């Protein structure tokens, strides 16, 4: 157990970028419209739906809980898959238009980690095309040793499966890894995999329970754009590699 920082694993939605409210939610609504459905998910209602991880799983939950009488043409799984494809198309259009940007500090921290030889990885429930589009627009696919996304594991967060998958692929010890997440489901997933976790909250998650996190911040911060410390201690007004190494030691 060296407690030496060797890897950073990032969630995507709400962590790398504020994709949920003005990205996925809007894309779902446009997908509904394209499919000829009069459904609309408001900002607040979508926050409730975010308790369910995964877009297809979220759609099934919505139908089961709020539209139990709805009967699609054909099989439910096929209907949900088609609707999710429409949503993904609209999401990619939003992303390519520049409507969705990275959160403060994410690119700085990732570039700093790369410069010092720290391995980077992705662990997210969002679909692979969404992840690839975001990384290609703002970062680089080649920067990440493993990109674990979508249905690559059967059980999504808060189950630890996706983090077990990444750690196994990288052949690393859990005590050399720090995870950056944004939600209680993500935190529970990482903690269950034995991983030290930093949380950066957003409008949808700021009231959730993050007691098991090593550090909870408003965002990763920049030297000229300080973050707010919600839980834990941070020597500077932004998260850097020194802070992450300190977290592992303690």
- For residues 203 and 194, what is the distance between their CA atoms, to the nearest angstrom? 27
Task: Please state, in angstroms and as integers, the Cα–Cα distance from residue 157 to each residue in 67, 76, 108, 137, following that order.
Answer: 24, 23, 27, 26
Q: Tell me whether the omega of the peptide bond preceding residue 121 falls within 30 degrees of 0, making it cis.
A: no
Give burial (CB, 10 Å; 0-12/13-18/19+) of 2: exposed
Residues 6+ apart with CB under 8 A from 21: 43, 46, 203, 204
Write down how long the chain is. 250
Q: What angle do the packed helices 76-96 and 128-138 form, to 10 degrees?
A: 10
- For residues 15 and 103, what is the distance between their CA atoms, to the nearest angstrom? 7
- In the set 11, 161, 219, 240, the catalytic residue is 11
- For residues 53 and 48, what is the distance between their CA atoms, to the nearest angstrom? 11
Answer yes or no: are the C-beta atoms of 247 and 198 closer than 8 Å: yes
- For residues 212 and 199, what is the distance between their CA atoms, to the nearest angstrom? 10
Is 173 catalytic? The answer is no
Is 142 catalytic? The answer is no
- In the set 13, 182, 219, 240, the catalytic residue is 13
Identify which of 227, 169, 170, 165 has the alpha carbon closest to the alpha carbon of residue 198.
227
As annotated, the active-site residues are 11, 13
């Amino acid at each position: 157990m060296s407690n030496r920082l060797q890897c950073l694993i990032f969630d995507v939605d709400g962590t790398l970028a504020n994709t949920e409210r003005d990205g996925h939610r809007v894309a779902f609504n446009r997908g509904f419209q394209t499919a000829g459905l009069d459904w609309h998910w408001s900002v607040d209602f979508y926050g409730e739906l975010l308790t369910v991880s995964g877009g297809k799983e979220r759609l099934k939950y919505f139908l089961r809980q709020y539209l139990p009488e709805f009967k699609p043409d054909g099989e439910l799984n096929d209907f949900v898959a088609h609707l999710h494809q429409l949503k993904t198309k609209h999401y990619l259009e939003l992303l390519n238009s520049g409507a969705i940007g990275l959160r403060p500090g994410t690119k700085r921290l990732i570039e700093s980690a790369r410069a010092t030889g720290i391995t980077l990885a992705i662990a997210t429930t969002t679909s692979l095309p969404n992840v690839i589009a975001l990384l290609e627009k703002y970062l680089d696919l080649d920067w990440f040793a493993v990109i674990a996304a979508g249905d690559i594991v059967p059980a999504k967060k808060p189950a630890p499966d996706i983090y077990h998958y990444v750690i196994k692929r990288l052949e690393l010890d859990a005590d050399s890894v720090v995870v950056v997440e944004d939600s209680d489901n993500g935190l529970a997933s990482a903690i269950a995999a034995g991983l030290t976790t930093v949380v950066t909250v957003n409008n949808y998650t700021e009231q959730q329970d993050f007691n098991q996190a090593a550090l909870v911040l408003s965002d990763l911060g920049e030297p000229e754009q300080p973050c707010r410390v919600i839980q834990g201690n941070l020597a500077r007004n932004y998260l850097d590699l020194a802070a992450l190494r300190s977290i592992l030691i303690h």
